């Protein structure tokens, strides 16, 4: 029993590691499901699936059989969560969804945050439109894709216009045309907007286009050939010539080779290639027998992961938010081949076959994708090596002990102080890290045009948050290989905390450098290298002056690679902030005071603007005029009038 004057005993540290897993197993069922290992912050370290949860999780208690990476993961585990499912296939789908959403540190991660473009044929208009579409499929229509890039879908739209003469203009443009546009003149549209084609004839074009997109191009070509012969027999030579041109266009877009395999209708070709512990996965999209383009992916994973395991995780995550095609061709045997196929079939609502071809045209297609994966990975590794050399040059130039792993570049944009925005871009060993880019809407109050005050607000907001995150994961050891209190690696490869910059680069001269240094000193940030890059005489690129603490301002030779690198990342920050500013300004232009009135939605706003001509006209209108506006009842009219005339009393309505 402790003496009365002894201090209160400290509460014991919460259990973690194997003890946590063993405690969780006491109530863990033997059902299929998904388990999550969580760190002390409640963030997911690892997400896994199992046919038998209890049996699978038991493996993590046998530390001696685990690799170094998994032992580290177990040591960081503070709690576990599980979700049971009916089948292992359902568990696989849930696992892929959670991995993409939570991005656990110890999982193989598909870094794919881009949406894919689709080709859309609308069905909510008498004359359907063909267009490129991104995002949710909310509009009524048929969607074909996905396409690997905007270029690929644009090429297909152009081909469809050439062959089927479909309109691509927006409905608002269609409704206000008085004469055919240029696309009609160059034989890319049938001009339904001015009734150069009947609704029935246009419907035939739409039907042919859908058949073509469904892979029935041969039938479409035969139909066009019959139409051309009929027109020629009727001595309608101009119409026959127009159909001939369409047939030529159709022949051009349906050529077959290794890039457009004749034996494939709807399929994805997925090939993985590994070099030096890194993987590139190349995906080709084949729809309707045509190549919809390809894209390279570089999953994040440990160096010990083999290509089949990476490919398995990639396929599960890749199809989490997109429909899988009936056939997926791969270049490695998957460890869980049957389970992956079952899960994708469950998601698609039809059979999905995963096949590794050994001969024939399909094998040639896989080899072609493999070559593309290998070449893409070799280019990336070469670029990374070149980037590393540039970062070494930056470190040498500014007297840094090691190459920087994270460079943050800041810039502002505004017009006479309005629509003011700041932006931060990030560069590192792998180039620009666009997932780390940040936008800052300047809150103020700031004197219009005060760039120093804007930069102060941006840096204060950025580093106040970074300091808070840094304090939550305070380092025990400040040397190389330091670990956080929870045992996680707290240092990036270069020796700085993850997410903490080695260099802050700003566009400006000595004045900007001094102002930013004062802001960072006020925040207590002293371990970041601050650099300012000022435009040279006449703002000529190549004659910039570089400013930093402890060194006199200096210039580099115009062709110096390090100077080019610094110019490039500065220009990227300028591009990003200008894009942000323009988007914000456009949004504000579309808004008006009417948006602030309760009960005024898009329809009533449009009715008021159409009746009075502008928001100013609505503001100047009397109560009786507002009541007389179409679609506006007395209650709404009084509300609008009261918003613009808050001090005026209105008689109660009869």
Q: Regarding the domain with residue range 407-587, which homologous superfamily does it belong to in the CATH classification? A: UvrC, RNAse H endonuclease domain (3.30.420.340)
Q: What is the 3-state secondary structure (H, E, C) of 63-87?
A: HHHCCHHHHHHHHHCCEEEEEECCC
Burial class (CB in 10 A: 0-12, 13-18, 19+), 97: middle
> How confident is the model at residue 34, as a pLDDT?
94
What pLDDT does residue 564 have? Answer: 87
Per-residue confidence at 351, pLDDT binned at 50, 70, 90? Answer: very high
pLDDT tens for each residue of 139-177: 888 888 888 888 778 878 887 888 888 898 888 888 888
pLDDT exceeds 50 at position 474: no
* Banded pLDDT at 328 (limits 50, 70, 90): very high
* Tokens standing for residue 102: 């939570």
The reported pLDDT for the residue numbered 118 is 87
CATH topology of domain 593-644: DNA polymerase; domain 1 (1.10.150)
**Of 40-44, 493-497, 603-607, minimum mean pLDDT range:** 493-497
18-102 carries CATH number 3.40.1440.10: yes
pLDDT at 113: 62
Q: Tell me the mean pLDDT in the region 189-198.
A: 89
Do 436 and 470 touch, CB atoms closer than 8 A? no
What pLDDT score does 467 carry? 84
pLDDT at 312: 93
Looking at residue 583, what is its pLDDT? 73
Structure tokens at 173: 């443009």
Residues 506-521: what's their mean pLDDT? Answer: 88
Average pLDDT over residues 17-42: 90
Question: Where would I find the H helices in 237-359?
Answer: 237-253, 307-318, 337-348
Q: Which of 197-206, 230-239, 638-647 has the highest mean pLDDT?
A: 197-206
Quote the tokens at residue 561: 């690679």
Q: Is 528 helix (H, G, I), strand (E, B) or coil?
A: coil
The structural domains of the chain, with segments of one domain joined by +, span: 18-102, 267-379, 407-587, 593-644
Mean pLDDT throughout 76-100? 91
Instruction: For residue 339, give both structure tokens.
Output: 């389970």
**Which pLDDT value is given to residue 632?**
85
- Per-residue pLDDT band for 648 (boundaries 50, 70, 90) equals low
Work out the mean pLDDT of the chain and round it to a whole number. Answer: 82
Calculate what percentage of the chain has a pLDDT beyond 70. Answer: 85
Question: Residue 494 pLDDT more than 70?
Answer: no
**pLDDT beyond 70 at 599:** yes
564 CB-contact burial (10 Å; exposed 0-12 / middle 13-18 / buried 19+): middle
Q: 425: part of which helix (H) or strand (E)?
A: strand 418-428
Q: In degrees to the nearest 10, what's the CA dihedral of 91, 92, 96, 102? A: 30
Phi, psi (5° rounding) for residue 615? -65, -35
Q: What is the rounded average pLDDT of the residues 297-326?
A: 90
Q: What is the pLDDT of residues 560-596, one digit of tens each?
A: 888 888 988 998 988 888 887 777 666 655 566 677 7
For residue 574, give the 3-state DSSP assignment. helix
Burial of 369 (0-12, 13-18, 19+ CB in 10 A): buried
Q: Are domains 267-379 and 407-587 of this chain identical in fold?
A: yes
Report residue 396's pLDDT band, with 50, 70 and 90 as the boundaries.
Answer: very high
Question: pLDDT > 90: what percent of the chain?
Answer: 25
- State the pairing for strand pair 545-548/353-355: unpaired
Q: Say if residue 9's pLDDT is above 60.
A: no
- 322 neighbors 270 (Cβ within 8 angstroms): no
Cβ–Cβ < 8 Å for 165, 190: yes
Q: Could you tell me if 265 and 322 are in contact, meaning their C-beta atoms sit under 8 angstroms apart?
A: no
Residue 339 has pLDDT above 90, yes or no: yes
User: What does the pLDDT read at residue 262?
Assistant: 61
Give the SS3 label for residue 491. strand
**Which residues are CB-neighbours of 289 under 8 A, at least 6 positions away?**
215, 217, 254, 256, 260, 261, 262, 264, 265
17 or 242, greater pLDDT = 17
- Residues 267-379: name the CATH superfamily: Ribonuclease H-like superfamily/Ribonuclease H (3.30.420.10)
pLDDT for position 407: 94
Provide the 8-state DSSP code for 10: P
d(Cα 434, Cα 156) in Å, to the nearest integer?
29
> 418 has which bridge partners?
415
Residue 224 has pLDDT above 50, yes or no: yes
- The average pLDDT across 196-214 equals 86
| Averaged pLDDT for residues 450-476 | 76
* Tens digit of each residue's pLDDT (9 = 90 or more) over 227-244: 787 777 777 777 777 777
Confidence of residue 278 (pLDDT cuts 50, 70, 90): confident
Strand duo 353-355 + 327-330: pairing: parallel
pLDDT(627) > 90: no
Query: What pLDDT score was predicted for residue 484?
Result: 34
Asked if residue 528 has pLDDT above 50, the reply is yes
């Amino acid at each position: 029993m402790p003496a009365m004057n002894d201090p209160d005993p400290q509460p014991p540290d919460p259990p973690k590691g194997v003890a946590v897993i063993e405690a969780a197993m006491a109530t863990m069922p033997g059902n299929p499901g998904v388990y999550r290992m969580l760190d002390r912050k409640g963030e997911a370290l690892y997400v896994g699936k199992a046919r038998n949860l209890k049996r699978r999780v038991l493996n993590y208690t046998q530390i001696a059989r685990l690799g170094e990476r998994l032992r580290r993961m177990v040591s960081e585990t503070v709690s576990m969560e599980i979700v049971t499912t009916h089948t292992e296939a359902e568990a696989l789908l849930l696992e892929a969804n959670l991995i993409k959403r939570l991005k656990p540190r110890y999982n193989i991660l598909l870094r794919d945050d881009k949406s894919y473009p689709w080709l859309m044929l609308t069905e909510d208009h008498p004359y359907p439109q063909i267009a490129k579409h991104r995002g949710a499929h909310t509009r009524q229509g048929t969607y074909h894709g996905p396409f690997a890039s905007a270029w690929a879908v644009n090429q297909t739209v152009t081909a469809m216009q050439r062959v089927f003469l479909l309109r691509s203009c927006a409905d608002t443009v269609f409704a206000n045309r008085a004469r055919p546009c240029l696309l009609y003149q160059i034989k890319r549209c049938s001009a339904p907007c001015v009734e150069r084609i009947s609704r029935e004839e246009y419907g035939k074009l739409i039907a042919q286009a859908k058949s073509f997109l469904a892979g029935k191009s041969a039938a479409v070509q035969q139909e066009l050939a019959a139409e051309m012969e009929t027109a020629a027999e009727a001595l309608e030579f101009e119409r026959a010539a127009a159909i001939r041109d369409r047939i030529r266009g159709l022949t051009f877009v349906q050529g077959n080779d290794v890039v457009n395999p004749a034996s494939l209708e709807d399929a994805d070709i997925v090939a993985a290639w590994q070099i030096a512990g890194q993987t590139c996965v190349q995906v080709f999209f084949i729809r309707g027998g045509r190549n919809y383009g390809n894209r390279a992916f570089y999953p994040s994973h440990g160096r010990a992961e083999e290509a089949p395991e990476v490919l398995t995780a990639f396929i599960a995550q890749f199809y989490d938010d997109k429909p899988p095609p009936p056939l997926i061709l791969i270049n490695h045997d998957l460890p869980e081949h049957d389970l992956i196929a079952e899960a994708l079939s469950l998601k698609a609502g039809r059979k999905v076959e995963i096949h590794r071809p050994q001969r024939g045209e399909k094998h040639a297609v896989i080899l072609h994708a493999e070559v593309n994966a290998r070449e893409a990975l070799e280019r990336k590794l070469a670029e990374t090596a070149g980037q590393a050399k540039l970062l070494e040059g930056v470190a040498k130039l500014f007297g840094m002990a090691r190459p920087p792993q994270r460079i943050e570049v800041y810039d502002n944009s505004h017009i006479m102080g309005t629509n003011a925005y700041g932006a931060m871009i990030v560069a590192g060993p792998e180039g620009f890290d666009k997932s780390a880019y940040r936008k800052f809407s300047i809150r103020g109050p700031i004197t219009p045009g005060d760039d120093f005050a804007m930069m102060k607000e941006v840096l204060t907001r950025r580093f106040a948050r970074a300091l808070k995150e840094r304090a939550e994961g305070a380092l025990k050891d400040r040397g190389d290989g330091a670990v956080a209190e929870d045992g996680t690696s707290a240092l990036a490869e270069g020796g700085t905390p993850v997410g903490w910059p080695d260099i802050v680069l700003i566009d400006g001269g000595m004045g900007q450098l001094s102002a930013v240094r004062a802001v960072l000193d006020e925040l207590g940030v002293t371990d970041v290298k601050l650099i300012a890059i000022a435009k040279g005489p006449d703002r000529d690129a190549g004659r910039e002056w570089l400013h930093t603490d402890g060194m006199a301002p200096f210039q580099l030779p115009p062709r110096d690679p390090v100077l080019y690198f610094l110019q490039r990342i500065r220009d990227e920050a300028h591009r990003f902030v200008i894009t942000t500013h323009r988007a914000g300004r456009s949004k504000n232009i579309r808004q008006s005071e009417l948006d602030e009135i309760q009960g005024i939605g898009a329809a009533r706003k449009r009715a008021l603007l159409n009746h009075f001509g502008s928001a100013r006209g609505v503001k100047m209108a009397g109560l009786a005029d507002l009541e007389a506006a179409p679609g506006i009842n007395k209650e709404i009219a009084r509300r609008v009038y009261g918003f613009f005339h808050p001090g005026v009393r209105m008689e109660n309505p009869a």
